[in-house]
Amino acid sequence: MSQCVKNGCQNKGEWAVKVHLPAKGWSLAAHTPVSVISDMPLCRDHAEEENLLEDFPDLRRALCDILESNGLAEPDFDRAWTEPVRRSSKEFAEFEKSRAKHMN
């Protein structure tokens, strides 16, 4: 099991994070937010942090690149929210399977 990627944390990285990104300039009612799972290993405490996207600017850049390469709207990080996802969960396994399929 990987260690949490948060600087100075010695805990196991048993969690990932699912990021929900509303489109900039659109209401939530008019445009369903895009949800993306990040594969960076985090401990439970850091996966639940509200300021996670501020603490990981590389994650923000990667999310922007993903959305841009898929022709999706610019994300509004001020309204984005995250939720922890256990790396051993069915949801994470499906994400890994889907990602592997797209890489081939």
Compute the Cα dihedral for 82, 84, 89, 95 and give only its sign.
Answer: positive
* 8 A C-beta contact, residue 87 and residue 93: no
Return the pLDDT at 29. Answer: 82
Write down the pTM of the prediction: 0.84
Query: Which residue type occupies 69?
Result: S
Return the pLDDT at 27. Answer: 85
Q: Kindly report the three-state secondary structure assignment for every residue of 1-57.
A: CCECCCCCCCCECCEEEEEEECECCCCCCCCCCEEEEEEEEECHHHHCCCCHHHHCH
**Structure letter (DSSP) for residue 89:** S
Structure token digits, residue 85? 């996802």
pLDDT tens per residue across all 104 residues of the chain: 699 999 999 999 999 999 999 999 888 888 889 999 998 999 999 999 988 999 898 999 999 998 898 888 889 999 999 999 999 999 999 999 988 887 65
Return the pLDDT at 92. Answer: 94
* HSE-up (13 A, CA, CB side) for residue 101: 6
